Structure formats: structure tokens, C-alpha cells
Amino acid sequence: MALAQEDIEFIKKNLGIWLAEQSLGKPPVVYEIELRERMVRVEEELKHQRELMRQGFEMMEKRFEQVDKRFEQVDKRFDEMLGRHDRHFLWLIGFIATSAGLVIAASRLL
């Protein structure tokens, strides 16, 4: 027994309604509304994630600036330390040269 074309059209027209009544499916309009609501929620979550990422990048930027300042301070202290050591070294060379000169002068006098 074959179905007539008008029977097929009637079934196609009412199948969504029948399934919705039996809770076996949802009519296309309800399904489309749910999809749109889901898309809106996903877009809002993506927006929130972008904002969190932006905040994280800003915090990283601030931290890098702090690390750069700290390196500058360490570099400055290192330069000061080298300057002090250079002065001490020059004093030591001067002391050794003076002492050697005095020893040589004393040995010639005796």
C-alpha cells in the first residue's frame, strides 16, 4: 500500500507538531530559539574570556616592567661595585709600588 502524495505532504507538515506533543522532538522554531540563546551565551563567554586574557597580559606587562627596573638596579649596583674595586686596586698598586721603592731605597742606604 503506497501513500498518496497528499498524505506524504500532510505527514511532513504535522510530523514536527506530533513529535513535540509526544516530547520526542522540538518544533523547528523552538529549536532555532534555543540555538540562538546558546549562541548568545557562547559569544558572552568568549567576550569574558577575551577580557580575562587582556587583564592577564596587562598584569604580565607590569611584571616585566618591574623585572626590568630590578635589573637596572642590579646593573647600577654592579657598576658601583666595580668602581669601588678599581679604586681599591689602584690604592693597592700604589701601596705596593711605594713599599717597593722604600725597600729599594733602604737597601741602597745600607
In a domain, 94, yes or no: yes
In a domain, 53, yes or no: yes
Angle at the Cα of 100 (from 95 to 101), degrees rounded to 5?
A: 100
Number of domains in the chain: 1
In a domain, 2, yes or no: no
- 8 A C-beta contact, residue 28 and residue 16: yes
Q: What global pTM score does this model have?
A: 0.46
What is the domain range of residue 32?
A: 13-109
pLDDT band at 30 (very low <50, low <70, confident <90, very high): confident
Mean pLDDT computed over 80-89:
86
Cβ-based neighbours of 95, under 8 Å, separated by 6 or more: none
Residue 19 has pLDDT above 80, yes or no: no
pLDDT tens digits, 31-54? 788 889 999 999 999 999 999 999
In a domain, 87, yes or no: yes
pLDDT tens digits, 58-76? 999 999 999 999 999 999 9
